[in-house]
Amino acid sequence: MSKAWKRFGAPLLATVAAMTPLLWSVDAAAQAKPFDGVTLRVGTFGGPWRDDLVKYVQPKMEALGMKVEFVIGSPQDNLAKIIAARGREAPFDVVEILDAQIDQMADAGMLAPIDYAGIPNANQIEPWQRGANAVGNWTTQEVICYDKGKFAELGIAVPTTYKDLANDKLSGRVMYADITGGGGLANFAGIVYASGGDTTNVKPGLDTLKTFKGVKFWKAGGDIVSAFKAGDIYAAVAHTGWCLRAAKFAAANVATSHPKINAGKTGVLKVGWLGVVKGSKNPAAAMAFINAYLDEEFQVAFAKNSGVWPVNKKAMQRLRTEDPVFAAMNMLDAADVERMLRVDYKGVNVNNWYDQWNRAVSR
Amino acid sequence: MNPNNAPLAPPASRVARWRRPSVGAIAKYAWVTWAYLFLLAPMVVVLGSSLDGTTAYSGVVFPPQELTLKWYRQIPASHYNALGLSLVLGLSVAIGACLLGIPAALGVVRGKLPGKSMFLAFFRAPMQIPAVVTGVAFLKLYYAFGDATGLYLNATFAGLYLGHLFVATPYVIGTVVSVLQRFNLRLEEAAMSMGASRWSTFRRVTLPTIMPGVHAGALYAFMVSFSDVPIAMFLTAPGFLTYPVELFFGIETDFNPSVLASASLVILFSLGLLLLVQRVIGLDTVVHSRS
């Protein structure tokens, strides 16, 4: 017995004793999460926008071991913060960017390259949304939202161009996006192109705008909802999400019309992007966050709550059936979306646009 | 007793006052009423709209068409957190601005330094710089300071506090200077001639006399901090967002009437505080000198 113990028992016990910590460590490794100890800072919009991210995306990131902190602000403010921090640790890892800033940021070397291997959901978005330095994460279709009942009552045909809003019967009843508001630049570019101008010559658009009698301007989309609800306006130029809110929540009898821009373009598409700030210490975690943003479930929920249109194709398909009113307000076919005007802001002097707008509108 | 049971006539002087209101008096009352309406109307609209329950979501609806408190129940927790931070920050800034501003005002008014007017202009400078510029400048300053010392104040409470203190202190200096310039120095001379030390004289004579200016300055300092957006949006960080920043960026992308409910609570809290101060110690005591 003693011999057998010495020969087999003791070595076995020693082996088990030696293996135990190893087994524990293997178990611990199996339970370890890929982003344990990582804090990801995301520059995004505030209010319900941030709240949706907290509700839907943050739990997924926490399941990966990651802590997410949201820094709220407009893309312009976030750009200023990145500029102030240049050469030092980035103030955010991931940042929401509008199409008017994307070239400026990329050209200034503020954005890190996107590693699509870490974003499997990017397979569900259009190729042009898979940029080298940023990923498209939402779009808005900028349209003419009009009161069907009032237009019928006044005998006005469905508007197909911006110029249709110059109708005398709509005097004082049209609301346009202020250039400094969320959809301002895209909708201004829309009327400029539709009037024969371009990014270097915006005067034709301003001339058309001046033909709208008693036009009002909105900065926050809620203004449109309030104005439709109160019966103050019969038409507004805004993205479909605000028209949807007017229909759903203000019981307004509204529909959308994508204005004809020129022979090849109808409607205006604004695109939101996610970029990873150069200098981020957590690029892999950033890709995981972007992947969760593009996730079908989140894109559907986010579209329903925020009114922006998803980029995930499966989410688009689901919205056709899950939210038919919203689907009816948007162009859904890829070919139609491709024919919408996407403004190229490269080289555009936006401050010059503001100056010209202020001079024309204040007169 | 009235032996004839005839109704008693009001005193002649009162009849005269009521029967002959002068045009000037009517105009005066009309003007005051208009001023009150102008000042209170926005608050009435906010309070009224926060009670409208006609839709699940809407913009501002006034007057309310169906009364509800549902928006009060839907105020996000982030609003309460931000409000708490803003109150603490505002009070800290008001106290800090007084600690800096009172000695600075005394130095400018009483000191024998050449170029006093230049100093006064210098102290007013933070009020004349656009707040957005101040915010960016502080952010850059904190980065530079951090590079030199390893202590980065950006995205910290201390950094936000210093930014607000910078713009709030001139208000205390301005109000205290204006009181000190009318200060009768013989009061201090009298105290010292009776054996009071300089500190005792300051504590028991000077400070009570300049208190209206201190209170007014502290109130301005609090309000500047409590309502600031442009500076805070550059200096806040996750975990400590101020109330106006939370509200501003909340309504930028969407509008939920719970914002109106949240703002209504702040209005009611402010009014309640004023009433409490009036009831307990009296507003006159707060804003007038005790000397």
Q: What is the pLDDT of residue A47?
A: 85
Query: Most B CBs within 10 Å: which of A72, A175, A244, as the mutation test of the B interface?
Result: A72
Residue A47's CB: how many other CB atoms inside 10 A? 23
Which of B:187-226 have CB within 8 Å of A? none
Report whether CATH 1.10.3720.10 matches the domain B72-288.
yes
What does the alpha-carbon distance between residue A15 and residue A7 come to, in Å, rounded to a whole number?
A: 13
User: A65 versus A7: which is more confidently predicted?
Assistant: A65
Q: How confident is the model at residue A152 (pLDDT cuts 50, 70, 90)?
A: very high
To the nearest whole Å, the CA of B124 is away from the closest chain A CA by: 26
Q: Coil, strand or helix: which one is A174?
A: strand
**Confidence (pLDDT) at A100:** 87
Residue A104 pLDDT level (bands cut at 50, 70, 90): confident
Q: What angle do CA A218, A224, A225 make, to 5 degrees?
A: 150
**Average pLDDT, integer, range A266-273:** 96
A120 has a pLDDT exceeding 60: yes
Strand partners, A217: A176
pLDDT recorded at residue B284: 65
Q: Which residues of B touch A45 (CB under 8 A)?
A: 249, 252-253
Residue of B nearest to A227 (CA): B59
Q: How large is the average pLDDT for residues B213-227?
A: 93
Tokens of B108: 């400018």
Averaged over B99-123, what is the pLDDT? 89
Q: For residue B137, how many other CB atoms are within 10 A of its CB?
A: 16
Q: Give kind and range of the element (H or E) at residue A18.
A: helix A10-31
pLDDT at residue B14, rounded to an integer: 54
Other C-beta atoms closer than 10 Å to the C-beta of A137 total 24
Share of chain B above pLDDT 90, in %: 58
- How many Å apart are CA B75 and CA A243, to the nearest integer? 25
DSSP state of A281: S
Residue of A nearest to B49 (CA): A226
> CA–CA distance from B53 to each of A252, B76, B257 (Å)?
17, 18, 10
Cα–Cα distance for residue pair A173/A144, rounded to 1 Å = 13
Q: Chain B: residue nearest A41 by CA?
A: B238
Q: How far apart (Å, rounded) are the C-alpha atoms in residues A291 and A118?
A: 7
Instruction: Note whether B147 contacts A: Cβ–Cβ < 8 A.
Output: yes
Tell me whether residues A225 and B59 touch, CB distance under 8 A: yes
- The verdict on B133 touching A (C-beta cutoff 8 Å) is no
pLDDT single digits (tens) B123-170:
888 988 999 999 999 999 999 999 999 999 988 999 999 999 999 999
Partners of A230 on chain B (C-beta within 8 Å) are: 61
For A172-215, the pLDDT digits (tens) are: 999 999 998 878 999 999 999 999 999 999 999 999 999 999 99
Nearest chain A residue to B146 by CA distance is: A88
Q: Calculate how close chain A gets to B31, using CA atoms only, in Å.
A: 31
B248 to chain A, any CB pair closer than 8 A? The answer is yes
Q: Please enumerate residues of A whose Cβ is less than 8 A from a Cβ of B.
A: 41, 45-49, 51, 69-74, 77, 80-81, 84-85, 88, 91, 182, 220-223, 225-227, 229-230, 245, 248-251, 306
Distances (CA, A) of B189 to A98, A350, B183, B193: 67, 64, 12, 6
The type of residue at B238 is P
Q: Do B57 and A81 touch (CB under 8 A)?
A: no
Among the listed residues A193, A169, A351, A174, the one whose alpha carbon sits nearest the alpha carbon of residue A269? A193
Q: How far apart are CA A233 and CA A241, in angstroms?
A: 17
**CA-CA-CA-CA dihedral for B157, B160, B162, B163, to nearest 10:** 180
Which chain A residues contact residue B139 at CB under 8 A? 81, 84-85
A51 contacts in B (CB within 8 Å)?
A: 76, 78
- Choose the weakest-confidence range: A153-157, A235-239, B57-61, B165-169: B57-61
**Cα–Cα dist A147/A233, whole Å:** 8
Among partner residues A71, A85, A226, which is closest to B237 by beta-carbon distance? A71
| Model ipTM value | 0.71
Residues of chain A positioned with their CB less than 8 A from the CB of B253: 45-49, 182, 221, 306
Residue A25, judged by CB atoms within 10 A of its CB (0-12, 13-18, 19+), counts as: exposed
Q: pLDDT (tens digit, 9 = 90+) per residue, A303-343? A: 988 889 999 999 999 999 999 888 999 998 889 999 999 99
- What does the block give as tokens for B255? 């509008």
**A45 CA to chain B: closest CA distance, Å?**
7
**Residue boundaries of the structural domains of chain B:** 11-70, 72-288
* Pairs of residues, one from chain A and one from chain B, whose beta carbons lie less than 8 Å apart: 99
CB A249 within 8 A of CB A165: no
Question: Nearest by CB to A69, which of B154, B234, B238?
Answer: B238
Cβ–Cβ gap B55/A182 under 8 Å: no
User: What is residue B111's predicted lDDT score, i.e. its pLDDT?
Assistant: 87
Q: What is the mean pLDDT of residues B283-288?
A: 60
In angstroms and rounded to an integer, the radius of gyration of the C-alpha atoms of chain A is 26
pLDDT of residue A86: 79
Residues of B within 8 A of A306 (CB-CB) are 253-254
A306/B253 Cβ within 8 A: yes
DSSP string, B57-83: S-S--SS-SSB--HHHHT--HHHHHHH
Do A85 and A253 contact (CB within 8 A), yes or no?
no
Are the C-beta atoms of B100 and B126 separated by less than 8 Å? no
What is the reported pLDDT for B1?
44
Q: Which member of A46, A91, A222 has the closest CB to residue B249?
A: A46
Distance, CA of A163 to CA of A211 (rounded, Å)? 8
pLDDT per position as a tens digit, B3-17 = 555 555 555 555 555
Percentages (nearest 5) of helix, strand, coil residues in chain B? 75, 0, 25
The answer to whether the beta carbons of residues A268 and A183 sit under 8 Å apart is: no
Query: Best mutation site among A45, A49, A67, A81 for testing chain B: the one with the most B CBs within 10 Å?
Result: A81
pLDDT of residue A185: 94
Residue B178 pLDDT exceeds 80: yes
pLDDT in tens, A46-86: 888 999 999 999 999 999 999 999 998 888 888 888 888 87
The Cα–Cα gap between B243 and B227 comes to 8
Report helix, strand or coil for B255.
coil
A110 token code pair: 């503020």
Contact B251 A249 (CB under 8 A): no
Per-residue pLDDT averaged across B198-223, rounded?
Answer: 93
Q: Name which of A319, A181, A198, A286 is nearest A239 in CA terms.
A: A181
Dist. CA A208–CA B197, nearest whole Å: 77
pLDDT interval class at A90 (50, 70, 90): confident
Minimal Cα distance from A248: which residue of B? B57
Give the model's pLDDT for residue B209.
92
Supply φ then ψ for residue A97, to 5 degrees.
Answer: -130, 145
The number of beta carbons lying within 10 Å of the beta carbon of residue A31 is 8
